[in-house]
Homo-oligomer: A and B are copies of this chain.
Amino acid sequence: MTFIRLFAPIRRLLKPMSQPLVLSALAQFAAKTAGRNMTRVAYVAVTVGVATMILLTVAPVFEAAHFWIGMVLWLCLVYFVFEWLVRLRHMANQGRLRLYVFSSSGVVDGLGALAVPVALLAGVEPRTAWLLGVLWVLKVVPGIPGLRQLRRVLVIESGSLLSVLVIFLMVLCLGSVAVYFLERDVQPQTFGSVPQALWWAMATLTTVGYGDVVPITPLGRLVAAFVMISGLGVFGLWTGILATGFAAETRRDNFLKTWDSVSKVPFFAALGPAAIADVTNVLRTMDLPPRTMIIRKGQQGDCMYFIAAGEVEVDLPGKKVTLGEGAFFGEMALLGNSLRSANISTTKLSKLLVLDLVDFRLLMARHPDLAETIDTEATRRALENK
Interface set of A (CB-CB < 8 Å, partner B): 50, 53-54, 57-59, 128, 131, 134, 137-138, 140-141, 144-147, 149-150, 153, 156-157, 159-160, 162-164, 166-167, 169-170, 173-174, 177, 180-181, 192-195, 198-199, 202-204, 206-212, 214, 218, 221, 224-225, 228-229, 231-247, 250, 252, 255-256, 259, 272-278, 280, 284, 302, 356-358, 361-362, 364-366, 368, 371
Contact = CB atoms under 8 A, between A and B. Distances in A.
Contacts of A275: 365
Contact of A150 (B163, B181, B208): B163
B145 A361 contact: no
22 contacts: A57-B192, A57-B193, A131-B194, A138-B170, A144-B162, A145-B162, A150-B167, A160-B246, A195-B218, A209-B209, A209-B210, A232-B234, A235-B235, A235-B236, A236-B238, A239-B240, A243-B244, A247-B247, A273-B364, A273-B371, A274-B365, A277-B361
Given A144-B166, A146-B160, A232-B235, 20 more contacts: A54-B193, A57-B180, A58-B195, A140-B166, A145-B163, A146-B163, A146-B164, A149-B163, A199-B225, A203-B209, A207-B208, A208-B228, A210-B210, A211-B211, A233-B242, A236-B239, A244-B246, A255-B361, A256-B358, A277-B366
A147 B207 CA distance: 23
B210 A207 contact: no
Contacts of A203: 209, 228
Nearest to A359: B252
A364 B274 CA distance: 8
A153 B211 CA distance: 33
Contact of A246 (B145, B177, B221, B237): B237
A81 B152 CA distance: 42
B365 A131 contact: no
B140 A170 contact: yes
Given A146-B160, A259-B361, A273-B364, A235 B239 contact: yes
Contacts of A194: 53-54, 57-58, 131
Contact of A173 (B50, B169, B177): B50
Contacts of A365: 272-278
Closest 5 CB pairs of A and B: A208-B209, A240-B243, A277-B365, A210-B211, A146-B163
A18 to B, nearest CB: 33
A250 B192 CA distance: 43
Contacts of A137: 169-170, 173-174
A144 B211 CA distance: 32
Nearest to A252: B358
A206 B232 contact: yes
A352 to B, nearest CB: 15
Contact of A160 (B149, B173, B229): B149
Contacts of A50: 173
Nearest to A234: B232
A358 B203 CA distance: 41
Contacts of A272: 365
Given A214-B210, A221-B199, A250-B160, A193 B59 contact: yes
Contact of A256 (B231, B232, B284, B357): B357
Q: Kindly name the residue among A137, A198, A232, A247 whose own CB sees the greatest number of chain B CB atoms within 10 A.
A: A232
A298 B255 CA distance: 24
A358 B255 contact: yes
Nearest to A281: B362
A368 B356 CA distance: 28
